[in-house]
Every structure is written in C-alpha cells, then in structure tokens.
Chain A
Amino acid sequence: MNDETSNNALLLINNVSKAYDTTKALNDVSIEINRNEFFALLGPSGCGKTTLLRSIAGFEDPDSGSITIYDDSGNGTDLLGLPPNKRPVNLMFQSYALFPHMNVRKNIAYGLEREKLSNSEIAARVDEVLETVGLTEKAKARPAQLSGGQKQRVALARAIVKRPRLLLLDEPLSALDRKVRAEMQLELKRLQHEVGITFVVVTHDQEEAMSMADRIAVIDDGEVQQIADPVTLYTRPTNIFVADFIGSGTLIPGAVSPTGFTTQVGNAGSGSHQLPATNPNNVSGSAVIMLRPEAVHLNGDHQSGSLPGQVVETHFYGGSSVSTISVSGLELPVITRHPGPPRHGVGEQVHLKWLPEDAIVLAAPADQKPVE
C-alpha cells in the first residue's frame, strides 16, 4: 500500500473471518474503503456481505481480523472493541426499522437526543435533514402512514442526521417497487454527494451496484472475488464468477499456449486454432475466453481469427437486436447484440469477429477438460 491510498482510506477491513458452526461466512476478507466513496458489497444471497456489514456496525463479532476507521488526521480506531452505540458509523436497515410509536420527527431526532444535544440544535438539524430528503410536510406522520419510498427517506434521514463518518445501507432498495427503485437509485447517489458521507451499500442486484457505486467488491462464498470500479469489473473481470455475475457473456473453452489462446471450438475436429484474446490476469494452461454480447461482430465472409457459426435466432428490440449463433464445439450458442435491426437471417452462415482486447482470458472452471 502506498502513502497516497493510506491517506485517503477511511475504513480498513483487515483479514476478517467469521464462521457459524462449520460454515465460513467470511473468509479472510480485506477491503479498503476511501473517503467520500460510494462503495458496494455485491454478491448472491448468503455470500457473507450482510455479515460483513453487520460486523462493521457492531451486530456481529468476527472471529479474527480487524476493522479500523480513520479520522481526518489519519488516526485509526479499532471498531471491533466498541459496542454499536459507540461506533461512528450508522446502519440503514433493510426493513428500515422505523420506530412505530414515534412520528417522523421523533424518529429522526432519536439519535441526536442520545448525543445529549440541545433541543434547539436537534430541532435545527432535524429540519435541515427533513428538507434534504423532501419530507418536511410529513414531519408529524407516523411510519404506518408513509409509502415505501417515504419510509426509506425517513430511515436515511435518521441515519445521516447523525453525521456518521460511514453510512452502511443494507439492501436499501429491495423493499421498493421497480419504478420507485429506479428513482431512489439516483436519489441515493445525489444525497451521497450532497451530504458528503461515505456510503457502503450491500446489494445482490448487480445493475443497482453498477449504476450507483464508485467501486464494488464482488463477494462469493465469504471471499472477496474482485474489487474494482464498475467498468473494470465488466471489461476486466479476474475470474469466471465475476464475469458471470456482472452481466452476461459467452465462455469459449481452450488453453493458453506460448503464441496465444488456442481452442478446438469452431474447427469441426480439424485441430486447434488461435483466437484473438488478451490475457491481463496472466492465466496459463487450461483457460476460457469471455465475450460480452456487444463485443462480438458478425460478418458474412471469413477473416483470419474469426469463428464460423450459424444464426439460430434473431430478436429485434427496436433500438437493438440480439442474435444467437450456434458454433460447433460449443454447448451453448453465442449471444451477440448490435444496434439496429438484425443483419443476418436465421440459418445464415456467419463469421464471429471481435477485438483482442474484448476477449478476456480467464482461468478455466475446475471441471473443464484439458485441451491438447
């Protein structure tokens, strides 16, 4: 770690592990979260992301490792020694956990009252945050009288009014319907900029993470798979799990040879041939290349380094088309997407072509047969 990143670090999660009985919820997780960052913990349900979030908030106790938060002058405090009410972080619960016997104003003031602030300061800060989330008119309403989106704003207001150094959000949008969810995605992003608080959001929805977060940690099986910005995750995944979890794509099995990526796919049993690919992760031996649908171009005639196939299906979606192409030696057809109407009819012979930098070499799954 160089000096620049350590100065910018707000939260350092170091080798955190946690097991329930025999199942490992978190296995040696290390993540660095920067100041003013919108950070997402992304993974399928049961991957350990919520356990990690609750460990930061203080509701889970990791078996080993440390979680350190840094103040503006770079002094670190180990969070794990502190009870939840003494940590400078706040959590927005998935259920929102609004206090049903208090109105909106009382809910938001609750955290400030615990800090023993003066009544006038509490009132001023509650008014301010009510305006920020646009709920000034609902100050006297009980939680039961609010819509899902409004409840979420109250939960958010109740957390940010505490001015935490870090705000944790547990599946913040999962309880909302589709339309409100899209609205709140933008709203959360706007609020994060406005209040200048570091957000760490847990989600299982990759689109949600991609559209909101500055950086994402993809987690599976209690382990960090990759930490990167959304574009890098999409174009330069480091393993098959990440490639598959972040968007769709086709995998072509083969092997890395001294000259490049070679495969028997598409050659109808007449030996292996080389396909354009790039190997940023320095994979060797048995491997696959991953192709995103929009990276594959279709041509009528053969060019070097292209893959022959036959159009199986075409779908026109107005602005773009999706064609599925069967290739000999591939179990699943290749899915391609391009703007405009379909350019090749069903049954037509085509050649698949892509740029070397659009085909990422990844280590093959354990069950892939080695290619001679």
Chain B
Amino acid sequence: MHKIGWLRLPLGITYLFLYTPIVVLVIMSFNISKTPFVWKGFSTRWYAELFQNELVRQGFINTMIVAVSATILATILGTLLAIGISRYFRSALLEAYSLAPAIIPDLALAIGLLVFFSLMGVTLSLVSVLLSHVVFGMAFVAAVVIARMGQTDSSLEEASRDLGGNAFTTFFKITLPSLAPGIIAGALLVFTLSLDEFVVAYFTNGPATPTLPIVIYSMVRFGVTPEINALAALLLLVSFTFVLSAQRITRLTDSV
C-alpha cells in the first residue's frame, strides 16, 4: 500500500477503459434525441417505447422462461454432480470434465449441441435452448459447489449420523444447508449468464421463439437506436443486481 501512488494512474485508466462505454450507454438511454450519439436532453421515452415493443416483450418472456427453468434445472443437477464427484469419485479428471462446458468456447459448444439435436431429431425450440443452457449452467454450479465443499468440515455429516440422523435427514438438514451459500451463488450466476446468452441460443433456437439477445441482435442490424440503449441498460441493472447479491450471500453466510 505504500509508495505505489503512481500505480493509481494505470489503475484509473484501466477502469476508465472498462466502464466508459457502459456509462455512455446508460446516459444515452435517457437521451431525448433519436440519433443515439448526440445529447439533446433528458427523457425516459425510450423506456416507455421499449415496453410498447411487441417483439421485445415476447423476447423478454422467452428469455425469462429459459433463464428461470435453466437456473432451476442446472442448480439441482450441478449440486448433485458436485456432491457426487467430491464425495464418491475423488478424481481430478472427472472434476475437470464436469467443469469443461463452462470453459470451452461458446461457438464449439453451440455447434456441438446443434449437431447433437439434429442427430437426435429434436425440433429446435425454446426447449433446446433451455437444455443447452442447462449444459453450461450445470458446470458453473458444480464448480462453485465443489469449491464450497472443499471448505466445509467433512465430519459434519458423520456428526449428524452419529447423533441419530438417517441419510435423508443428514442430506437435507446438514449437507444442503452447509452448501447453501455455494448453491445460491451458483444459481444466481446461471441466471445472469442465461439472461444475456447469445451464441448458444442463436444456434439452438427455433425461428418462432427468439430470446431477448437474439431480438436485440436483429434490431441492431438496422442501426443502434436509443431504444436498444435502454434495453441494454435494463439488462445491465438485472445482471449487476444478481452478481452483487451472489457475492453478498457468499460473504454474509461465511462470516457468520
């Protein structure tokens, strides 16, 4: 902390570089003018127009359906995967394979899933998007929960058994609650990722049910409108809220 005052300069520049576009986007979403790059005055008209836009509304509903269901499924499966791996198959290779879908390029995952779905004769729809999001979501949940399991005392479950708890009670009263911060953080992460996921959704979706990022993509092809700025600002708000609460939950429950 001492004698590194000059290091604040590159730090400041880095943050400026990271956040200027975002700040500009949010400011411009309140611009009254139709041309998105010239400030003419404050207004919330683009937000109002956004809610009138039938395409955006439908996209939003589709995205919520996918994000909520993918979060629920990925959280359950990812948690079970994490418990299974750390409890019964202590293997670094298996652990690495479980986390791979979170790391491999979206494009590879998307093409792979598309090929898989057509081989299986699955009609592309919201269901195929949902399944695809569960694939990488599960990996994120597993990663967070495995890390959490490494921090918890492995004799907790034995203590529960010793005090008269059967396997069922031990799982629901001891194992799950002690992993809860990890599970919740994982769920919030999946929700945030699914909400604005584009590449995988673009490949695995049917034409009739575009998700919000796909709707935005098709709107942007005809030029960036202030309406899109407003939409992006809203998505940003949701993502920030979820990521911050994920962090808070992990920290709070750890400090108690």
Distance of A144 Cα from B151 Cα, bound (Å): 14
Q: Are A84 and B158 in contact (CB under 8 A)?
A: yes
User: Among the listed B152, B163, B169, which residue makes an inter-chain contact with A90, where contact means beta carbons less than 8 Å apart?
Assistant: B163
Distance of A111 Cα from B169 Cα, bound (Å): 11
Residue of A at shortest CB range from B152? A100
Q: Are B165 and A114 in contact (CB under 8 A)?
A: yes
Quote the shortest CB–CB distance from B151 to chain A (angstroms): 10
Q: Are A93 and B159 in contact (CB under 8 A)?
A: yes
Q: Does B256 contact A (CB under 8 A)?
A: yes
Q: Are B155 and A158 in contact (CB under 8 A)?
A: no
Distance of A112 Cα from B180 Cα, bound (Å): 24
Q: Does A5 contact B (CB under 8 A)?
A: no
Q: Are A110 and B160 in contact (CB under 8 A)?
A: yes
User: Among the listed B156, B163, B177, B253, which residue makes an inter-chain contact with A158, where contact means beta carbons less than 8 Å apart?
Assistant: B163
User: Which chain A residues border B174 with CB–CB below 8 Å?
Assistant: 99
Distance of A142 Cα from B152 Cα, bound (Å): 16
Distance of A332 Cα from B174 Cα, bound (Å): 55
Q: Using C-beta atoms within 8 Å of the partner chain, give the interface range for chain B.
A: 20 to 34
- Which residues of A (28-87) have their CB < 8 Å from a CB of B? 57-59, 83-85
Quote the shortest CB–CB distance from B241 to chain A (angstroms): 25
Evaluate whether A84 and B153 lie within 8 angstroms (CB atoms) in the complex, with A99-B174, A114-B169 already known. no
- Which residues of B (170-191) have their CB < 8 Å from a CB of A? 173-174, 177-178, 180
User: Which chain B residues border A95 with CB–CB below 8 Å?
Assistant: 153, 155
Q: What's the A-B contact tally at a CB cutoff of 8 Å?
A: 63
User: Among the listed A58, A85, A97, which residue makes an inter-chain contact with B166, where contact means beta carbons less than 8 Å apart?
Assistant: A85
Q: Does A204 contact B (CB under 8 A)?
A: no
Evaluate whether A97 and B156 lie within 8 angstroms (CB atoms) in the complex, with A142-B256, A144-B256 already known. yes
Distance of A90 Cα from B162 Cα, bound (Å): 6
Q: Does B5 contact A (CB under 8 A)?
A: no
User: Which chain A residues border B256 with CB–CB below 8 Å?
Assistant: 100, 142, 144
User: Which chain B residues border A99 with CB–CB below 8 Å?
Assistant: 156, 159-160, 174, 177-178
User: Which chain A residues border B180 with CB–CB below 8 Å?
Assistant: 101
Q: Does A105 contact B (CB under 8 A)?
A: no
A-B pairs, 8 with minimum CB distance = A111-B163, A114-B164, A97-B159, A97-B155, A84-B161, A101-B177, A93-B155, A85-B164
- Residues on B close to A: CB < 8 A? 152-153, 155-156, 158-166, 169, 173-174, 177-178, 180, 253, 255-256
- Residues on A close to B: CB < 8 A? 57-59, 83-85, 90-91, 93-95, 97, 99-101, 110-111, 114-115, 142, 144, 158-159, 162
